[in-house]
Structure 1
Amino acid sequence: MKTQIFVMTHKKFNPPKDTVYVPLQVGSALNPDLGYMKDDTGDSISDLNPYYGELTGMYWLWKNYSDVDIIGICHYRRYFFNANGKLMTGEQYETELADADLMVSNPVFAPKPYLEYFGEAHNREDMLLAGEVIRRLYPDDYPAFEKVMQGTKYYFGNLCVMRKQLFDNYCNWLFSIFFEMEQYIDVSSYDDYHKRLFGFISEGLLLVYITANSLKVKEGHIGITAEKIETVEFKLAMGQLVKLGQFTEARQLFYDFLKIRPDIQLDLSDVSNEIPDIELILFILEREKELGIVGMYEVSHDLPDLIQHLRKTREILLNEKKQKTENNLEEQYLSDKKVTEIMRNVIMANI
């Protein structure tokens, strides 16, 4: 049995040494050659990558790659890990699928119905159009669409592993829906992030397909090997503005950027969960500066140091709140670091 896991990428990275993992450059028709297998030969939609994201690689594999029994999709920074915290091997994938139809990412549960959750970051009408097309093309599957949209569970990133025949069937279903949708969607007003709507919609439709076909799934653990490059660059920009003392400018950029790239603050992008802390730090720094108070900026001008300082202060204040007693060493820290009432109040309001 031959198993191949394709690692979708749009940038150079260090591929896993295990040969079961094969890098596949997506959107290669529009970008410089990275030296990997590319999705722009044969029957291809590589030039539609700005709208489809990693799905252009899935399409290429569906149409052009047949020399495999089990096929899987990972990302250059997201992989399936085994119980020991290591990359899964080909044999482990085969074992998992011995009694299941496919392997998917560990589930994510939205805090509200999925359709509403999707609509907060994207155009809700686009997902409703997907449902309307499913109702027309695959009427038996429409109840599954309604069920998924009303529920909270979904699988992220289109990460999946399955037998090639099932993969082909799923791709045939998915792309027939999207190609029909293309006739009715106008993305001319969308920014570059939101133009990737088919990639976003497909995250919800994977569970629709699973539900409609009563497929048995194995939910695997996804390990993230690095933060999204956009998240890294965002944090670096915040750090540079903080170092220059431009707190108001940093806060403005913070909120402006999140409007166009809300994904950078997700757990799957902000691996170290620093963005919520950066938001608090920027507020505290700006407020202390406005009032001419010596405080957080005296501790350090480097954002990573300030994040650690905020977290240490939060831990101390939380201990005080729980125990309702003072710890001399902890109080000394707050005094030495000139923790102001502004910082205390902001932290306590967000515990």
Structure 2
Amino acid sequence: MKTEILVAAHKKFPMPKVEGYVPVLVGATRNYKDGISYQRDDEGENISSKNPNYNELTAVYWAWKNLKDVDAIGLVHYRRYLFDSKPYSLDNVMSIQKVNQLLSKYDVILPKKRNYYIESNYSHYIHAHHQEPLDKTREIIVKDYPQYLPMFDKVMKRSKAHMFNMFIMKKDAFDSYCNFMFGVLEKVEKQIDTSNYSVQEARVYGYISELLMDVWLETNAYKYTEVAWGQIGGKKNITKAILLIERKLGIKAKTHLN
């Protein structure tokens, strides 16, 4: 089984020296500098120029359109990875052997769900971001993807979700996911004006896609498993907890910390 796990990065950064991990420079049309030898997301069919709005999804799109001779595709981030044991370090990221072992039983590998505890996925989103894009997403699903609506509404009411745009999928599942996710986002993009959004909020389609993962996954009943995830350099748990409380009290967050 040939599996390639993309490591999305917008700058040069230490990378895993492990078989199957492929560093991808996202937004390469803007972010390329001499000395960065990563795979660029602006080669072949691509949406690299949309990286300020799509985040790491430009790497996903590049893989979807250009990686053909593979059996499974994954995405992690230059500081955030999937693990099957501690310590959480670049030397201990999940091996391709372990990945392929799991993919012999499951269609999709995901990080453990994030739990917002005192908020629903919907309320967390609108307290942290502009509400209009998420509401437009539902309108588009009602009109063009009605089979996904029941699960969309369920996911919005839950307090847990598979976040971070991190995954490893068999190729057929990956193609299904991209068709749905990029199809929805393309339609949302046509109805949203982001010209007055902050740099942080302009990343709107990357944020929305996080909530589309479980909608797609459960509607199509793909078999999945969860594994641990870790952040190189540690997580800002205290800061995140404060922001979560502020959002619950109606104080608009200045940043969105993942």
What residue number does 2:38 align with? 36
What residue number does 1:90 align with? 96
Unaligned runs of 5+ in 2: 237-251
Amino acid at match of 1:95: Q
SS in 2 for 1:167: helix
Return the match for 1:106 from 97, 104, 112.
Answer: 112
Report deviation, 1:227: 5.3
Return the match for 1:181 from 181, 185, 188.
Answer: 188
What residue number does 1:140 align with? 147
Return the match for 1:149 from 136, 148, 156.
Answer: 156
Report deviation, 1:262: 3.6
Deviations 1:293-328 (A, max 9, x none): xxxxxxxxxxxxxxxxxxxxxxxxxxxxxxxxxxxx
Deviations 1:136-166 (A, max 9, x none): 1211111010000011111121100011121
- Distance in structure 2 (CA, Å) of the matches to 1:19 and 1:82: 16
CA contact (8 A) 1:72 1:162 kept: yes
Report deviation, 1:38: 0.4
Percent identity, aligned pairs only? 37
- Distance in structure 2 (CA, Å) of the matches to 1:98 and 1:65: 21
Query: Structure 2 matches for 1:261-340, cutoff 5 A?
Result: 261-263=255-257, 268=258
What residue number does 1:23 align with? 23
What residue number does 2:240 align with? none
Deviations 1:6-59 (A, max 9, x none): 100001111111121110010001122422100001111000000000001100
- Distance in structure 2 (CA, Å) of the matches to 1:83 and 1:14: 20
Return the match for 1:73 from 75, 81, 84.
Answer: 75
CA contact (8 A) 1:81 1:220 kept: yes
Query: Structure 2 matches for 1:244-255, cutoff 5 A?
Result: none
Q: Does 1:117 align with 2:124?
A: yes
- Distance in structure 2 (CA, Å) of the matches to 1:77 and 1:59: 20
SS in 1 for 2:32: coil
- Distance in structure 2 (CA, Å) of the matches to 1:138 and 1:112: 26
Return the match for 2:254 from 260, 270, 287.
Answer: 260
Deviations 1:66-105 (A, max 9, x none): 1211111010011111135431111100111222120111
CA contact (8 A) 1:77 1:227 kept: no
Q: Does 1:127 align with 2:134?
A: yes
What residue number does 1:191 align with? 198
Unaligned runs of 5+ in 1: 232-257, 269-351
Higher relative helix content:
1
Q: Structure 1 length normalisation: TM-score?
A: 0.65
What residue number does 1:214 align with? 221
Amino acid at match of 2:153: E
State the Cα RMSD in Å.
Answer: 1.7
**Following TM superposition, where does structure 1 have runs of at least 4 consecutive aligned residues deviating by more than 6 angstroms?**
none
- Distance in structure 1 (CA, Å) of the matches to 2:66 and 2:221: 28
Amino acid at match of 1:218: T
CA contact (8 A) 2:127 2:253 kept: no
- Distance in structure 2 (CA, Å) of the matches to 1:82 and 1:227: 17
SS in 2 for 1:197: helix
- Distance in structure 2 (CA, Å) of the matches to 1:227 and 1:64: 33
Q: How many correspondences in the alignment? A: 237
CA contact (8 A) 1:116 1:124 kept: no
Structure with the larger RCO, 1 or 2 (CA within 8 Å, 6+ apart) = 2
Higher relative strand content:
2
